[in-house]
Amino acid sequence: MCLECGCGDPEIVAVDVHEKILAGNERAAAHNREHFAANGILAINLMGSPGSGKTALLEATAARLGREFRLGAVSGDLATERDAERLRAAGIPARSITTGNACHLDAAMVHRALHDFSADRLDILAIENVGNLVCPAVYDLGQHVSVVALSVTEGEDKPLKYPVMFLKADLVLLTKVDLLPHLKGVSVAGFADALGRVMPAPKMIAVSAYHGDGLDEWIGWLRERLALRAGKHPGAHARTHGRFA
Partner 1 sequence: MHEYSIVEALISRVAEEAAARGASGVSRLYVKIGALSGVEPELLAAAYETFRERTVCAGAELKIERVEERWACPQCGRTVVRAGALRCPECGRPGRLVEGDEIVLERIEMEVP
Q: Does 66 bind partner 1 (CB under 8 A)?
A: no
**Which CB, 113 or 137, lies closer to partner 1?**
137
**Segment contacting partner 1 by CB under 8 A, of 12-20, 47-55, 75-83, 225-233:** 12-20
Minimum distance from CB of 237 to partner 1 (Å)? 24
Do the Cβ atoms of 65 and 71 come closer than 8 Å? yes
Residue in 20, 67, 182, 184 binding partner 1, rule: CB under 8 A: 20
DSSP SS3 for 97: strand
Do the Cβ atoms of 124 and 227 come closer than 8 Å? no
Do the Cβ atoms of 171 and 205 come closer than 8 Å? yes
Report 138-167 residues binding partner 1 (CB under 8 A): 138-139, 163-165, 167
Report 118-137 residues binding partner 1 (CB under 8 A): 134-135, 137
Residue in 100, 181, 200, 242 binding partner 1, rule: CB under 8 A: 200
**Which CB, 18 or 243, lies closer to partner 1?**
18
Cα–Cα distance measured from residue 4 to residue 95, given in angstroms and rounded to the nearest whole number: 62
Do the Cβ atoms of 28 and 245 come closer than 8 Å? no
Report 34-63 residues binding partner 1 (CB under 8 A): none
Q: Does 4 bind partner 1 (CB under 8 A)?
A: no
DSSP SS3 for 72: strand
Q: Does 219 bind partner 1 (CB under 8 A)?
A: no
DSSP SS3 for 150: strand
**Which CB, 8 or 181, lies closer to partner 1?**
8
Q: Which residues of 162-193 are buried (b: 16+ CB within 10 A; e: fewer)?
A: beebbeebbbbbbbbbeeeeeeeebeeeebbe
Residue numbers of the site for partner 1 (CB under 8 A)? 1, 10-25, 102-104, 106, 134-135, 137-139, 163-165, 167, 196-201
